[in-house]
Structure 1
Amino acid sequence: MKVLIDNGHGSDTAGKRSPDGRLREYAYVREIAERVEKELHRRGVDAERIVKEMWDVSLAERCRRVNRHPAGSTILVSIHCNAAGHGQWMNARGWSGWVYRQCSERAKRLAGCLYDATKAQGLQVRTPSRSQKYWTAGFYILKHTVCPAVLTENFFQDNREDVAFLLSEAGKAAVVRLHVEGIMKYIESL
């Protein structure tokens, strides 16, 4: 199984930061993606980040990089931080997973495994209802990749408590762990 990891946005993407500027999404998710990649390698998993550049790589190019891998033996996890407002502190909190509206059962299973790994750590999760483990959307990277794909929104970069958690070493370790454990659970389920 090939695990592709996408770290959202780039240094030149407008916004995408906490209101106080301490958390910049492009830098944070790159750090998390690198840690996830290293831990998966340590566990013997073939993992690769698809965006190593610091600037924003177009969504079309990201999808091209994913789609050159065989769909049947590849998965994609796109790592992001959420936001509820436009540059001001907000109240929304928690982790969420997203799949394409017409995704495969494998993508749904991957999203469920990531959800379960998040809940197992006792972390706050946001879902559309109590019976669903993930949200659905038409996000470009989910719609235009051929392998099972999940986009994770790792807490809110415009919530003070979430930002403090994300920037702490314990928070970073928890976000890495939920991705690694969720991916490992998915691989073991095949």
Structure 2
Amino acid sequence: MKLYLDPGHGGRDPGAKGNGLSEKDITLDIALRLREILLNNYEKVEVKLSRTSDITKSLLARSNEANAWGADFYLSIHMNAADRSACGYEDFIYSGLSNSSKAAKFQKMIHDEVIKMNGLKDRGLKKANFHVLRETTMPALLTENGFISNSQDAALMKQPSWRQNVAKGHANGLAIAFQLQRKSSPVPTIPNLGTSYKIIAGSFRSLNNAKSRVADLQAKGFEALVETANISGDTWYRAQVGVYSNRRNAEQQMAHLKKSGFKDVFIIT
């Protein structure tokens, strides 16, 4: 699945502003988290972002790039704005499409998963004549993830854990829509199962330090947990990212962790 992921606005175009926030910053953060979740957890996924930093890019450049790349799906991430009382989540497909179109079917799947994760009022599935929905040659969806002008929605937007949940909701919906296969998932160490390869992204004497590392890993889209190890009579707390039955998969995940900034990663066989 080739996903063209478009964090709305950027550069000279801040998008909506309110409650100390700029739309362009929140959309980029969610999109980067979404990319990490998809690449970390699913097979055969390619993600191209319209921007990975705070740059100015026209709507025409975005739609042309997605079309030229041959994307399977176009997903544009936005935040809404209106009067202070307006709140909640809604998403849009092109107004010229029928309710039985492929875009409409994908919209329903993604909408249902996002609304499970974001804690926002459900404003429903909608249609609009937005450029990125009209001018793209593949199914396209634009999501409006809360109102930056609403103090309660904006308070959520300021929380990294909320932005991570929004990204997870989008990822879950995409996985259902495109029947994505998860990468080799961690398996329990069972006697006689064969050799397993456990990935450790940090080993600490302090439980709080281990928990902090796990939180950092989860914030970047990795599934992690704290495990306890007894070494020469001393208790150590490890940030475990997964257990793999295939050495190559473990090494690929270790390389991805190091690329994401976690240097003290090792494999236990």
TM-score normalized by structure 2?
0.61
Residue in 2 that maps onto 1:111 = 107
Q: What whole-Å deviation, never above 9, does each CA across 1:96-153 have from its counterpart, x for those lacking one?
A: 11000123711111111111102333542112xxxxxx11110011000000000000
Confirm or deny that 1:126 pairs with 2:134: no
Report the residue type matching 1:140 in the other structure: H
Take 1:150 and 1:79, find their aligned partners in 2: how far apart are those partners?
Answer: 9
Take 1:155 and 1:62, find their aligned partners in 2: how far apart are those partners?
Answer: 23
Confirm or deny that 1:51 pairs with 2:51: yes
Q: Give secondary structure in 2 for the equivalent of 1:68.
A: helix
Unaligned residue ranges in structure 2 (runs of 5+): 181-269
Pairing partner for 1:183 from 169, 174, 177: 174
Take 2:37 and 2:46, find their aligned partners in 1: how far apart are those partners?
Answer: 11
Confirm or deny that 1:84 pairs with 2:82: yes
Structure with a larger share of its residues in strand: 2
1:163–1:7 distance in 2 versus 1, CA, 3 Å: same
1:101–1:15 distance in 2 versus 1, CA, 3 Å: closer
* 8 Å CA contact 1:39, 1:180 repeated in 2: yes
Confirm or deny that 1:98 pairs with 2:95: no
Unaligned residue ranges in structure 1 (runs of 5+): 128-133
Task: Report how many aligned residue pairs link the two structures.
Answer: 175
* 8 Å CA contact 2:67, 2:136 repeated in 1: yes
Q: Give secondary structure in 1 for the equivalent of 2:91.
A: strand
Confirm or deny that 1:142 pairs with 2:133: yes
Q: Give secondary structure in 2 for the equivalent of 1:97.
A: strand
Residue in 2 that maps onto 1:29 = 27
Take 1:118 and 1:61, find their aligned partners in 2: how far apart are those partners?
Answer: 27
Following TM superposition, the consecutive aligned residue runs of length 4 or more in structure 1 with deviations greater than 3 angstroms are none
Confirm or deny that 1:157 pairs with 2:169: no
Q: What whole-Å deviation, never above 9, does each CA across 1:157-187 have from its counterpart, x for those lacking one?
A: 0000000011112311221111111111111
Take 1:155 and 1:173, find their aligned partners in 2: how far apart are those partners?
Answer: 14
Q: What whole-Å deviation, never above 9, does each CA across 1:37-73 have from its counterpart, x for those lacking one?
A: 11110123222212234222111101111101336xx
Alpha-carbon RMSD: 1.7
Residue in 2 that maps onto 1:7 = 7
TM-score normalized by structure 1?
0.86
* 8 Å CA contact 1:96, 1:154 repeated in 2: yes
Structure index of larger Rg: 2
1:53–1:166 distance in 2 versus 1, CA, 3 Å: closer
* 8 Å CA contact 1:76, 1:147 repeated in 2: yes
1:15–1:68 distance in 2 versus 1, CA, 3 Å: closer
Report the residue type matching 2:12 in the other structure: D
Aligned identity (percent) is 29
Q: Give secondary structure in 1 for the equivalent of 2:122.
A: coil
Take 1:113 and 1:37, find their aligned partners in 2: how far apart are those partners?
Answer: 18
1:14–1:187 distance in 2 versus 1, CA, 3 Å: closer
Confirm or deny that 1:42 pairs with 2:36: no
